[in-house]
């Protein structure tokens, strides 16, 4: 299953505010739906999204059942130094996905 | 003496070519922005997966799509915009989904993929992506004409408990409201597409079956001749329009 799409600028000026767009493939099953036979479909959602910039957490989001499938999260941070932006999504049923992109700051 | 004034809306007939508009023209600015940005368009998740499936060996023949067809970016350019296309061995048009499964069963010796399965949607999305920006160009010749006519007949035939034909909404009343939604012209410019309502990618046949259920008609099975012919007619009706797959629709 294709996992995640990240759109972050590969280069930025120091102090510049950069926008980061993330899209991940996930069903985000609410846990409130039932099958045709009445059995509850167990909840399967992403609970937490964290972005770290060279090891420092710069963004965190808690996700809830009302969020649609394939969550698209856009946020911004300040480009401080060259390095790595790491993204982690964790959720139900042991779901864990990581992705990282390099950024050069000059 | 009495003067009869006829209401113009009774039967507007076929949409003139210059007035044809893609479904994306009826969408909100936000949804269109989502479609146009590859990192915001959720359909690209399927395209990415399709790319890996394209290069993956499968079936008893142990061959990947790429081993015969090479780089899809070149070899598959325009292919999706030409489907449904006539298949000589079957003697009838086949959709892109059916074409993928023909290749799988005959060349790769692999089981066919189920309609609307993640793999089939991924492969067709990847193929369709290679036609983005090209004009829709289904071939119409003597061989496809009977199927095109059958599709046209389905489009104009009233059916279901509501006794509605496709044309009554999509030819005669496009641009008007159906409950909270604008009725589009039903040009299949972006399939397979990501429908926000579905929270998933889906094929044109899924959409057609949705519409059939909407008019309380019994939907044709996936891959049924009626749906393929209707698909052919709709693509012909949208000929020359820009292919947008994988599109996003509300």
- What pLDDT, in 10s, does the model give residues B104-126? 999 999 999 999 999 999 999 99
Q: What percent of chain A is modeled with pLDDT above 70?
A: 98
CA distances from B150 to A100, B147, B156, B230, B243 (A): 52, 5, 10, 7, 24
A2 pLDDT higher than 50: no
Q: Mean of the per-residue pLDDT values for chain A?
A: 93
Supply the CATH number for residue A62's domain: 2.60.40.10
B171-182 burial, b for 16+ CB within 10 Å, e for fewer?
bbebeeeeeeee
Of A2, A23, A25, the CB nearest to B40: A23
- Confidence at residue B10, expressed as pLDDT on a 0 to 100 scale: 45
B9 pLDDT higher than 50: no
Best of A23, A28, A73 to disrupt the B interface (most B CBs within 10 Å) is A23
B49 pLDDT higher than 50: yes
Average confidence (pLDDT) over B72-86: 95
Q: Which residues of B touch A21 (CB under 8 A)?
A: 37, 39-40
Host domain of residue A13 = 1-31+42-83
Of B38, B46, B199, the CB nearest to A2: B46
B39–A68 CB contact, under 8 Å? no
Q: Is residue A101 part of a domain?
A: no
Q: Is residue A37 part of a domain?
A: no
> Bridge-partner residues for A34, per DSSP?
A40
Average confidence (pLDDT) over A1-12: 84
Average confidence (pLDDT) over B142-152: 95
Q: Is B89 exposed, middle or buried (0-12, 13-18, 19+ CB in 10 A)?
A: exposed
A85 pLDDT higher than 60: yes
What domains are there in chain B, each with its CATH number? 20-250 (1.10.760.10)
Q: Is residue A59 part of a domain?
A: yes
Q: Where are the alpha helices (DSSP H) in chain B?
A: 29-36, 43-54, 65-69, 72-75, 96-106, 118-129, 145-156, 166-170, 204-214, 225-237
B215 pLDDT higher than 50: yes
Average confidence (pLDDT) over A87-103: 94
- Confidence at residue B95, expressed as pLDDT on a 0 to 100 scale: 96
Of B42, B118, B196, the CB nearest to A23: B42
Q: Which residues of A touch B44 (CB under 8 A)?
A: 5, 23
What distance in Å separates the CA atoms of residue A102 and residue A83, rounded to the nearest whole number? 6
- Confidence at residue A23, expressed as pLDDT on a 0 to 100 scale: 94
Q: Is residue A72 part of a domain?
A: yes
Best of B45, B47, B56, B125 to disrupt the A interface (most A CBs within 10 Å) is B45
B42–A1 CB contact, under 8 Å? no
What distance in Å separates the CA atoms of residue A84 and residue A87, rounded to the nearest whole number? 10
Q: Look at the block and give the residue holding tokens 């891959």.
A: B223
For the stretch B156-204, pLDDT in tens is: 999 999 999 999 999 999 999 998 889 999 999 999 999 999 999 999 9
The predicted model scores a pTM of 0.90
Q: Is residue A78 part of a domain?
A: yes
B200–A contact, CB cutoff 8 A: yes
Q: Is residue A20 part of a domain?
A: yes
Q: Is residue A89 part of a domain?
A: no
Are the beta carbons of A29 and A44 closer than 8 angstroms?
yes
For the stretch B14-46, pLDDT in tens is: 899 989 999 999 999 999 999 999 989 999 999
B45–A5 CB contact, under 8 Å? yes
What distance in Å separates the CA atoms of residue B248 and residue B31, rounded to the nearest whole number? 7
Average confidence (pLDDT) over B52-74: 94
Pairing of strands A83-91, B92-94: unpaired
What distance in Å separates the CA atoms of residue B56 and residue B64, rounded to the nearest whole number? 5
B177–A contact, CB cutoff 8 A: no
Q: List phi, psi (to 5°) of B110.
A: -120, 155
ipTM over cut 0.90 = no
Are the beta carbons of A28 and A45 closer than 8 angstroms?
yes
The encoded tokens of residue B119 equal: 């793999």
A23–B contact, CB cutoff 8 A: yes
Q: How many domains does chain A have?
A: 1
- Confidence at residue B11, expressed as pLDDT on a 0 to 100 scale: 53
DSSP for residue A26 = -
Q: Is residue A95 part of a domain?
A: no
Are the beta carbons of A105 and A79 closer than 8 angstroms?
yes
- Confidence at residue B13, expressed as pLDDT on a 0 to 100 scale: 77
Between vectors from CA B195 to CA B193 and to CA B200, what angle results, nearest 5°?
85
- Confidence at residue B12, expressed as pLDDT on a 0 to 100 scale: 59
B44–A7 CB contact, under 8 Å? no
What distance in Å separates the CA atoms of residue A86 and residue A51, rounded to the nearest whole number? 6
Min Cα–Cα distance to chain A from B107, Å: 24
Q: Mean of the per-residue pLDDT values for chain B?
A: 92
């Amino acid at each position: 299953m294709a996992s995640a799409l990240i759109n972050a600028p590969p280069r930025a000026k120091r102090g510049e505010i950069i926008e980061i767009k993330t899209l991940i493939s996930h069903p985000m099953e609410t846990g409130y739906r039932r099958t045709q036979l009445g059995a509850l479909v167990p909840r399967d959602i992403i609970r937490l999204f964290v972005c770290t910039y060279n090891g420092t957490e710069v963004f965190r989001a808690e996700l809830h059942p009302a969020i649609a499938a394939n969550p698209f999260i856009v946020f911004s941070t300040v480009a401080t130094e060259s390095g790595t932006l790491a993204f982690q999504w964790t959720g139900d049923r042991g779901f864990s996905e990581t992705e990282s992109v390099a950024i050069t700051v000059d | 003496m009495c003067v009869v004034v006829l209401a113009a809306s009774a039967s507007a007939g076929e949409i003139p070519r210059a007035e044809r508009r893609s479904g994306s023209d009826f969408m909100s600015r936000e949804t269109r922005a989502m479609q146009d940005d590859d990192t915001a368009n959720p359909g690209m998740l399927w395209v990415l997966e399709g790319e890996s499936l394209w290069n993956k060996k499968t079936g008893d023949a142990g061959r990947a799509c790429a081993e015969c067809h090479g780089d899809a970016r070149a070899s598959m350019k325009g292919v999706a915009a030409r489907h449904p296309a006539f298949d000589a061995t079957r003697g009838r048009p086949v959709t892109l989904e059916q074409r993928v499964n023909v290749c799988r069963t005959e060349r790769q010796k692999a089981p066919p993929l189920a309609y609307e399965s993640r793999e089939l949607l991924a492969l067709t999305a990847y193929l369709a992506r290679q036609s983005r920006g090209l004009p829709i160009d289904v071939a119409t010749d003597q061989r496809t004409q009977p199927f095109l006519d059958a599709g046209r007949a389905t489009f104009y035939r009233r059916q279901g408990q509501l006794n509605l034909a496709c044309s009554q909404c999509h030819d005669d009343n496009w641009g008007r409201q159906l409950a909270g939604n604008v009725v589009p012209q039903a040009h299949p410019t972006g399939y397979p597409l990501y429908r926000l309502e579905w929270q998933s990618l889906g094929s044109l046949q899924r959409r057609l079956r949705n519409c059939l259920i909407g008019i309380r008609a019994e939907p044709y099975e996936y891959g049924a001749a009626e749906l393929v012919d209707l698909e052919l007619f709709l693509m012909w009706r949208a000929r020359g329009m820009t292919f947008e797959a994988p599109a996003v629709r509300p």
